[in-house]
Amino acid sequence: MRVPGFGVCLAAALGLAACGGGGGSAGPSPVATPTPVQGPTVQAVVFYDEDGDGQRGAREPIRVPDVEIVIAGRSAKSERNTGLARVQGVPEGTHTVEIRGGTLPPFYQAGRLPSVAVPAGGASVDVPLTLPIGTNTPNVYMAFGDSLTRGLGSTAGGDYPAQLQVLLGGYFAGAVVTNRGADATNTYEALERFRRNFRGQQPAYVLILYGTNDWNVPECQDKAPCFTVDNLREVVNLVKEANSLPVLGLIPPANPAINAGRNSWVQDINRYIRAMGEEEGAAIADTYAAFNGKGGELSRFFIDHVHFNDAGYKVIAEAFFAGIAGRGVTAASTGDLGWKPGGGAW
């Protein structure tokens, strides 16, 4: 039996219409106009202070985005490429500039943070950041690895170091990525190459992508950690001893259309590599997760069992970009890939 008025009162209970007469529907609620922020604006430029003097020099072009600047309780994030943070509504007076914890990219440290005197018309201030690289060359990233680093299967400018340089340049306003990939090398040979050839290179960062060829050694197939993790740990420590900043790439997947079972080994050993890298203070570039995040059939990124096409190397570049730029950061458009990497295999 129908209960009179049930539908109307139920609708009222759900907030869909009002009970009672009138019969007309209420119009949409007016959208509130945001209240303008009152008070002066401080324009803060977050920059990489290469010489550590606290001043933004003409030869210090690097800007650091996504850093949250706090002045008198008001905050804003710095923009890509310009490093500009517009902190609105700052009261007049002299205030200390602060950086919100956890918003700096890996390895960056606050420099000598300034105070800023804010008049009625606003003010500008430079916010210096530093990197612990000793006398190494600022803004140089050395990609160190096997044929995946060299870019076997890519077209000119399609290898991951070339594509990464474009991403970093569009984000920090500058970067040089050198390619030191050597075909068919495993982590034992990585140690030999590094000890023999690293002296004199002095990059700010070393991007380590090794371990794919370790799978070819039966000892590694039988037991996931095998020698790979110990060798990579030693590479990471050699990088740190040279005052360079280590960014450790996890092993990317193999082509599932050719050898799907190999990826079980990759996943197992990556757990050990990640744990070791975090223990040693390296930034992590999770190439495996980057491919899984693309969805669909992963074989579209490959030219053979392990080597990639340009689209696959772009995924690796994006993973290293995210590891360098920091937590939660994603890659921007690569744009024109006209740069050709310099240098050859060691």
Q: What is the CATH number of the domain that holds 298?
A: 3.40.50.1110
Strands lying side by side in the sheet with 93-99: 74-77, 68-71, 93-99, 115-118
**Taken in order 133, 136, 139, 141, is the CA torsion positive or negative?**
negative
Q: Which of 81, 114, 130 is the last residue of a domain?
A: 130
Residue 85: CATH number of its domain: 2.60.40.10
Sorted by sequence, the CB contacts under 8 Å of residue 24 that are 6+ apart come out as: none
Q: How many residues are given for the chain?
A: 346
Amino acid at 187: T
| 116 in the same domain as 141 | no
Q: Which of 90, 115, 130 is the last residue of a domain?
A: 130
| 120 in the same domain as 90 | yes
Using CA atoms, how far residue 113 sits from 11, 105, 220, in Å, is 58, 17, 49
Burial 90-121 (b: 16+ CB within 10 A, else e): beeeebebbbeeebbbbbbebbeeeebebeee
| 302 in the same domain as 233 | yes
Examine residue 217 and state whether it is found in any structural domain, yes or no: yes
Concatenated DSSP letters for 226-250? TTHHHHHHHHHHHHHHTTPEEEEEP
Q: Which of 92, 109, 130 is the last residue of a domain?
A: 130
Examine residue 83 and state whether it is found in any structural domain, yes or no: yes
| 69 in the same domain as 158 | no
Burial class (CB in 10 A: 0-12, 13-18, 19+), 81: middle
Examine residue 22 and state whether it is found in any structural domain, yes or no: no
Examine residue 212 and state whether it is found in any structural domain, yes or no: yes
Structurally, the chain folds into a number of domains equal to 2
Examine residue 5 and state whether it is found in any structural domain, yes or no: no
pLDDT of the residue at 260: 87
Looking at residue 302, the DSSP 8-state letter turns out to be B
pLDDT of the residue at 21: 42
Identify the H or E element spanning 290: helix 287-292
Residue 275: closest CA among 250, 253, 252: 250
Examine residue 317 and state whether it is found in any structural domain, yes or no: yes
Examine residue 334 and state whether it is found in any structural domain, yes or no: no
How far apart, in whole angstroms, are the C-alpha atoms of residue 192 and residue 207? 17
Structure tokens, 234: 């030693």
| 114 in the same domain as 245 | no
Sorted by sequence, the CB contacts under 8 Å of residue 277 that are 6+ apart come out as: 232, 236, 246, 248, 283, 284
| 189 in the same domain as 84 | no
| 161 in the same domain as 112 | no
| 189 in the same domain as 99 | no
* Domain limits for position 121: 42-130
pLDDT of the residue at 325: 97
| 75 in the same domain as 210 | no
| 182 in the same domain as 107 | no
pLDDT of the residue at 307: 98
Residue 47: closest CA among 91, 81, 6, 7: 81
pLDDT of the residue at 23: 44
Read off the pTM: 0.86
| 168 in the same domain as 124 | no
Examine residue 344 and state whether it is found in any structural domain, yes or no: no
How far apart, in whole angstroms, are the C-alpha atoms of residue 117 and residue 96? 9
How far apart, in whole angstroms, are the C-alpha atoms of residue 344 and residue 328? 33
| 261 in the same domain as 177 | yes
pLDDT of the residue at 12: 37
pLDDT tens for the chain, 346 residues long, are 333 343 433 333 334 333 344 444 455 556 655 555 678 999 999 999 999 999 999 999 999 999 999 999 999 999 999 999 999 999 999 999 999 999 999 999 999 999 999 999 999 999 999 999 999 999 999 999 999 999 999 999 999 999 999 999 999 999 999 999 999 999 999 999 999 989 889 999 999 999 999 999 988 887 778 999 999 999 999 999 999 999 999 999 999 999 989 999 999 999 999 999 999 999 999 999 999 999 999 999 999 999 999 999 999 999 999 999 996 665 543 333 222 333 344 5
